[in-house]
Amino acid sequence: MCPDTPPEAQTEPSPAREVLSAGDIARALRRIAHEIVERNKGAQDVVLLGIPSRGVDLAQRLAALIAEIEGREVPVGSLDVTMYRDDLRARPTKTLQQTHFPPAGVDDRVVVLVDDVLYSGRTVRAALDALSDYGRPRAVRLAVLVDRGHRELPIRADHVGKNLPTSHAERVTVRLTGHDGVEDSVTISGGEQR
């Protein structure tokens, strides 16, 4: 804090606050699973592809919920988009993640891309480019746990757990038991607190 700034105008980064608890995440995923089934009029021909890293965990959870609802297994895979990103030169090098498709592939299937946070839309654009190298789905939909706004591309999620308006200065952090080893949560931090 600057000593010359009056106390009422001094700001500091806000502490992280939880916006989704484990129970909230479970309810959001159950609702998304029902939406996917309703929109597709069942689970036939649906393939869930998680975008690493937390999107894969979420896709697996959605598949289990859909199997519970419909009584049938839904194929799950993962789609690494690292080499399809348009900001490779501007970002630090990332380790490539696994891309895995179900044996039946994605041709003429309804593919639901699953990710944890939708922000600029650039990751989804990269996923669409990557997916086109692997086949031609009948339809592609997007399911995200959190949509925080600030789109840079004309991309919109079909299924959203929570719309969370944020500022560019804020950071949304998703923690999942299967990936992070801690209780599920979504927190927001950064920005300024007066």
Which residues touch 123 (CB under 8 Å, ≥6 apart)? 51, 81, 85, 115
Cα separation, 108 vs 14, whole angstroms: 47
Q: Compute the residue count for the chain.
A: 194
In the predicted structure, residue 3 carries a pLDDT above the cut 70: no
State the pTM of this model: 0.88
pLDDT digits (tens, 9 = 90+) for 144-175: 999 999 999 999 999 999 999 999 999 999 99
Q: How far is CA 123 from CA 15, 84, 142, 151, in A?
A: 27, 9, 12, 11
Q: Which CATH number fits domain 17-164: 3.40.1180.10, 3.40.1210.10, 3.40.50.2020, 3.30.360.10?
A: 3.40.50.2020
In the predicted structure, residue 194 carries a pLDDT above the cut 50: no
Unique residue bearing structure tokens 């190298």:
133
Which residues touch 62 (CB under 8 Å, ≥6 apart)? 29, 32, 33, 36, 48, 74, 112, 114, 143
Cα separation, 88 vs 71, whole angstroms: 42
Which residues touch 108 (CB under 8 Å, ≥6 apart)? 45, 136, 137, 138
pLDDT digits (tens, 9 = 90+) for 24-45: 999 999 999 999 999 999 999 9
Contact 33, 69 (CB under 8 A): yes
Cα separation, 20 vs 88, whole angstroms: 31
pLDDT digits (tens, 9 = 90+) for 63-116: 999 999 999 999 999 999 998 988 766 666 667 788 999 999 999 999 999 999
